[in-house]
Chain A
């Protein structure tokens, strides 16, 4: 199994450009997340989804959009990129089927620089 795959790994954007970070998982997890991590900080939740067709905002959703048309895919769209969106982005998924499950499985991360 590949787990969680996100692309691209690196990207440089100019201010005002748009792009989509792709994320797909092959573990049949219902829950999927997008986090951003700024230097020296923990993970801040951007958007999450509890199943296909359902998305909700996290702590820092401004400037981003998501969709969840299938269980496997959860792309993150950046509209009108700004320098404040320079960060490392992590996609993650998990299941919460039992009381003893809940660990997040992370993709390798996407380093985005906006100049």
Chain B
């Protein structure tokens, strides 16, 4: 059974800090790993990492995938209060016909 573990479960920082969120996974036949941001409503997509795209960056957010060690990290630099959210990691398994398995998320709180 596919498994995704995120750490830490929660994190409190001050504006301007840099944070690193972790996601480790077990999957039979890896297809992709996805990061989502959830702010009191539906998750919104951040990044998708695959065998051919193991590093992504968008503004202050970046993510890398280590397929050998089976983990991914999401970095946020110069954090802002608007970054406060739950960050969800999900992994797709080719052998499971499109199922995404989610971790329990990391709750990030950015204080002014």
Contacts and interface: CB of A to CB of B under 8 A. Distances in A.
A104 B97 CA distance: 14
Interface string B70-112: 0000000000000000001010100001111111110100000
B92 to A, nearest CB: 6
A103 B97 contact: no
Interface residues of B, number: 28
Contact of A41 (B32, B42, B104): B104
A70 to B, nearest CB: 18
B50 A31 contact: no
B98 A96 contact: yes
Nearest to B107: A40
Nearest to B6: A42
A56 interface: yes
Nearest to A90: B42
A105 B45 CA distance: 8
Residue among A40, A44, A94, A104 with the most chain B CB within 10 A?
A: A104
B42 A50 contact: no
B41 A48 contact: no
Given A42-B103, A102-B34, 4 more contacts: A44-B102, A50-B98, A56-B97, A107-B42
Interface of B: 4, 6, 31-32, 34, 36, 41-45, 48, 50, 52-53, 88, 90, 92, 97-105, 107
27 contacts: A31-B98, A40-B104, A40-B107, A41-B104, A41-B105, A42-B88, A42-B105, A43-B88, A43-B90, A43-B102, A44-B102, A48-B98, A48-B99, A50-B97, A58-B99, A96-B98, A100-B53, A102-B32, A102-B92, A103-B45, A103-B48, A104-B34, A104-B43, A104-B100, A106-B44, A108-B41, A109-B41
Interface of A: 31, 33, 35, 40-45, 48, 50, 56, 58, 90, 94, 96, 99-100, 102-109
